[in-house]
Amino acid sequence: MSDNLDPISQAIRIQTPRTAQGEHSTPLYLTSSFCFDDADAMRAAFAEESDDNIYSRFSNPTVDEFTKKMVMLEGAEAGFSTASGMAAVVGSIMALLKNGDHLIVSSSIFGNTNTFIKKYMPNFGITYTMVQAGDESAWEAAVQPNTKMVYLETPTNPQVEVLDLEWIGKFTKKHNLILNVDNCFATPILQKPIDFGADLVIHSATKWIDGQGRVLGGVVVGRADLIREIYLFCRVTGPSLSPFNAWVLSKSLETLDVRMERHCANALKVAQTLENHPQVLSVRYPYLPSHPQYAIAKKQMTAGGGVFCFEIKGGVEAGRKFLNALNMLSVTANLGDTRSICSHPASTTHSKLTEDERLAVGITPGLIRVSTGLEKVDDIIADILQALEKAV
Ligand SMILES: *Cc1c(COP(=O)(O)O)cnc(C)c1O
């Protein structure tokens, strides 16, 4: 296949070689191990003198196809796919940091990533400093002689805060730090962190990449030398992506570009509609001019993404009533689906925190997070508007 194709075309056309059946769609290699012609071929594979597959914890053609597409889309050198987004988070940190190293991490990160860094990393002698996204002097002040990596997400969850990748890319180069970016909310269609100096990009493929709420998956792509270490760590510790999930995810990449276009168009239209609604105190969406980092979002993203949040008048009680009044939108904890989803963090995912702890991470009492699906936008708006009426 021609290397001149656009990465989006490659994400549609890359596939493992056809079998003797000549199938048009990509084959699924549902096997745990692979056979060798003779003892020497097996020896050569173990000695890494050949690229032959050995065992699906190490490599598998269907998994490699998905990885190759993600490497292409992100403009990376190499990649490794994992069983979930969290396996990508943990693998990319634990393979590269050791006892005595220090990590700088943005304070707005996915809940389980936060728990991993705070609760488990110290067990291995790895320390961290959490810094507020927009506070450049705090990032500078956090650098220590043993700092090795910077870890962040943008846009963040659920406040869709946008971090300046260009500034952080220069900052990490200046201090010779590995920049590890969770690009889950944007996908490579909207944002390519490597263009701004990221060394590693990770994804929860469970979200927009699958985009249909079916399978768990994750991937790390980036610099070949770093990916090699992550691969060696993962092949020993075992968080490899299942070939079946890889097959689903690889097919999903064929439609990622068109899906994201519609997700983003729908999200922008719904967010604009709610911005002037009397029962809505505020709306946060990276591509609304009212967003505090609108200029940065315009610089580093090609669209605003599928997620926005808004603050409903009436606090926790109004938030609960609003969710109960929805007819079409799903009430579930996931995001990045063909089906629009609403969640109310204060009474669900973050209900165990105190009010002060919630406010510190931007979870206000009436905050509603919306993951905009692919339904007709007028149907999404109509459902939200009727539920707002019942939430008074
Ligand atoms: C969901 C999510 C993860 C974790 O991914 P899983 O596939 O659920 O393990 C990591 N980062 C972000 C930003 C997420 O939204």
pLDDT band at 80 (very low <50, low <70, confident <90, very high): very high
Query: Among 255, 276, 299, which residue terminates a domain?
Result: 255
Is residue 1, in this structure, part of any structural domain at all?
A: no
The answer to whether the CB of 206 is under 6 A from ligand 1 is: yes
To 5 degrees, how large is the angle CA 124–CA 128–CA 132? 155
306 lines ligand 1 (CB under 6 A): no
CATH code for the domain of 382: 3.90.1150.10
Residue identifier of the C-alpha nearest atom 4 of ligand 1 = 85
Ligand 1 site, residue 184, Cβ cutoff 6 A: yes
Atom of ligand 1 minimally distant from the CA of 86: 9
In a domain, 307, yes or no: yes
Q: What confidence score (pLDDT) does residue 362 get? A: 83
Q: Is 340 in the pocket of ligand 1 (CB under 6 A)?
A: no
Domain membership flag for residue 180: yes
Q: Residue 2: pLDDT above 70?
A: no
Q: Is residue 110 in contact with ligand 1, taking CB distance under 6 Å?
A: yes
62 pLDDT exceeds 80? yes
Mean pLDDT of 23-31: 95
Determine the distance separating the centroid of ligand 1 and the alpha carbon of 4, expressed in angstroms.
32
Instruction: Indicate if 248 and 109 belong to the same structural domain.
Output: yes
**In ligand 1, which atom is closest to the CA atom of 217?**
7
211 and 277, same domain (yes or no): no
Question: Could you tell me if residue 335 is inside a domain?
Answer: yes
Range of the domain at 39: 7-255
Any domain includes 115: yes
Rg (CA), the chain: 22
Task: Specify whether 213 is located in the same domain as 354.
Answer: no
Amino acid at 18: R
For residues 377 and 180, what is the distance between their CA atoms, to the nearest angstrom? 35
Name the strands in the sheet holding 147-153, side by side, starting at the edge strand that comes first in the sequence.
Answer: 78-82, 218-222, 200-204, 178-182, 147-153, 102-106, 127-131
Residues 330-363 have pLDDT tens digits of: 999 899 999 999 999 888 877 777 888 788 878 8
Exposure of 274 in the CB half-sphere (CA atoms within 13 A): 34
Q: Determine whether the shortest distance from the Cβ of 208 to ligand 1 is under 6 A.
A: no
* Residues 347, 231 share a domain: no
Q: Which of 161, 100, 158, 97 is nearest to 135 (CA)?
A: 161
Please give the number of the atom of ligand 1 that sits closest to the Cα of 157.
Answer: 13
Q: Are residues 62 and 206 in the same domain?
A: yes
Residue 310 belongs to some domain of the structure: yes
Give the model confidence (pLDDT) of 93-113 as tens digits: 999 999 999 999 999 899 899
Task: Out of 237, 255, 273, pick the residue that ends a domain.
Answer: 255
| Residue nearest atom 8 of ligand 1, based on CA coordinates | 85
Question: Mean pLDDT over residues 145-173, rounded?
Answer: 96
Instruction: Give, using CA atoms, the residue closest to atom 5 of ligand 1.
Output: 85
Question: How does residue 37 score in pLDDT terms, banded at 50, 70 and 90?
Answer: very high
Q: Is 182 in the pocket of ligand 1 (CB under 6 A)?
A: yes
The tens digit of pLDDT for each residue in 230-276 reads 999 999 999 999 999 999 999 999 999 999 999 999 999 999 999 99
Q: Determine whether the shortest distance from the Cβ of 154 to ligand 1 is under 6 A.
A: no
The pTM of this model reads: 0.95
* 171 CA distance to ligand 1 middle (Å): 26
Q: Report how far ligand 1's centroid is from the alpha carbon of 207 (Å).
A: 7
- Please give the Cα distance from 182 to 193 (Å, whole number): 9
- Which CATH number characterizes residue 145's domain? 3.40.640.10
Atom of ligand 1 nearest to the CA of 153: 13
| Whole-number average pLDDT of the chain | 95
187, 57: one domain: yes
Q: With bands split at pLDDT 50, 70 and 90, how would you rate the model's confidence at 368?
A: very high
Amino acid found at 66:
F
Whether 325 shows a pLDDT value over 70: the answer reads yes
Beta strands in the chain (DSSP E): 78-82, 102-106, 127-131, 147-153, 178-182, 200-204, 218-222, 280-284, 307-312, 330-331, 341-343, 367-371
* Banded model confidence at residue 160, pLDDT cuts 50, 70, 90: very high
Distance 315 CA to ligand 1 centre (A): 27
- Looking at the fold, whether 71 and 200 belong to one and the same domain comes out as yes
Q: Are residues 242 and 350 in the same domain?
A: no
- Rounded to the nearest angstrom, the distance between the alpha carbon of 110 and the centre of ligand 1 is 7
Span from the CA of 86 to the centroid of ligand 1 (angstroms): 6
Task: Output the pLDDT for position 1.
Answer: 60
Same domain assignment for residues 303 and 232:
no
Residues above pLDDT 90, as percent of the chain: 90
The answer to whether residue 2 is domain-embedded is no
Do residue 226 and residue 272 come from a single domain? no
> Which of 201, 226, 255 is the last residue in one of the domains?
255
Question: What is the predicted pLDDT for the residue at 58?
Answer: 96
- The reply to whether 208 falls in a domain is yes
**Dist CA 253 CA 250 (whole Å):** 5
- For 262, the token pair is 């519609």
Amino acid 353: pLDDT: 76
pLDDT mean over 18-27: 93
What integer pLDDT is reported at residue 345 of this predicted model?
Answer: 87
- The domain total for the chain is 2
Same domain, 176 and 187: yes
Same-domain status, 161 and 70: yes
Q: Is 204 in the pocket of ligand 1 (CB under 6 A)?
A: yes
Ligand 1 mutation target, pool 112, 115, 163, 183, most atoms within 8 A of CB: 112
Ligand 1 atom closest to Cα of residue 89 = 10
Contacts of 359 (CB under 8 A, 6+ apart): none
